[in-house]
Amino acid sequence: MSRSPLPVILSIALLFLPACTQQPRSSGSALSASGAGAHAAIRSEAGGEGLVPRRSGLDAVAAAPALNLSGASVYVAPLEIDYRSQDASSIQPLGFRNRTLNDSERARLQQTMAQAFAENFLAPRGGRLAASSGAADYTLRLRLDNFYLPAPLEQTTRLRQVFSESVAYGTLAGTLYDRRGKAVLQFRDRREFGDTFTGSGGERLQRFSPPAFWGDMRMDLRRAFSSLDRSLR
């Protein structure tokens, strides 16, 4: 999967808006702390002692040696989001609100993540989701760091269109805790969501829209949790 710090964005509105600067793409599973450094960083988080690095398609995965979720129930805690700081000189597409998720959008993303986790990671291991933390064997805490949206999730018109290489960018991080509060699994992956799009003629840009955002997020989250599943086999 290709990853870049900032997607290219073109905006067509009532006024001309300049395209955002694209930084060079990185490849493979590179983090700012890569390889052994990334694994060391993930194990150094609170409660992460004793976790063993696993080979993975994600940037970093570490798990308890004998982790077994067969028959276990997992509660997915409320999603945490750390938005990328907007440059003071950046121009917002004309007529749009801020590039953040409102409460209903955040709840929908939480549900999308939980479903992808349940179907692509828990189900293959015989686990299931729990409705509350009190009845769960484990708790999963998910976080999106440096999360960036090329435009707000508003339906656009022909005069308000944004084209980008991906529907969102961020670092997906997760920690699975047992009932004692000890971390038994940690993972981290920097990614562009929906960056596999290729339009007619091979162009990389696609129109940003709510349906594209939700469809690409669902597909990429499934892919991420399937990769996490393979890491523990």
Q: Helix (H, G, I), strand (E, B), or coil: what is residue 73?
A: strand
Mean pLDDT of 20-49: 40
pLDDT above 60: residue 165: yes
Contact between 167 and 194 under an 8 Å Cβ cutoff? The reply is yes
Mean pLDDT of 128-140: 94
Q: What is the pLDDT of residue 17?
A: 33
Number of helices (H), then strands (E), belonging to the chain: the values are 3, 12
pLDDT by residue (tens digit) across 69-107? 999 999 999 999 999 876 555 555 555 556 789 999 999
Residue 128 banded pLDDT, cuts 50, 70, 90: very high
Mean pLDDT of 185-190: 96
| Calpha distance 85→203 (Å, rounded) | 29
Q: What is the pLDDT of residue 230?
A: 95
| Calpha distance 134→151 (Å, rounded) | 38
Q: 21-30, 115-124, 191-200, 218-227: which range is least confident on average?
A: 21-30
CATH class of 53-86+98-231: alpha beta
Q: What is the pLDDT of residue 183?
A: 97
pLDDT above 70: residue 125: yes
Is the pTM above the cut of 0.85?
no
Q: Domain limits of the chain?
A: 53-86+98-231
Query: 210-231 and 103-117 are packed helices; what angle lies between their axes, rounded to 10 degrees?
Result: 30
Cross-strand bridge partners of residue 168: 193
Percent of the chain with pLDDT over 70: 66
Average pLDDT of the chain, as a whole number: 76
| Calpha distance 38→34 (Å, rounded) | 5
Residue 160 banded pLDDT, cuts 50, 70, 90: low
Q: What is the pLDDT of residue 207?
A: 75
| Calpha distance 194→129 (Å, rounded) | 26
Percent of the chain with pLDDT over 90: 48
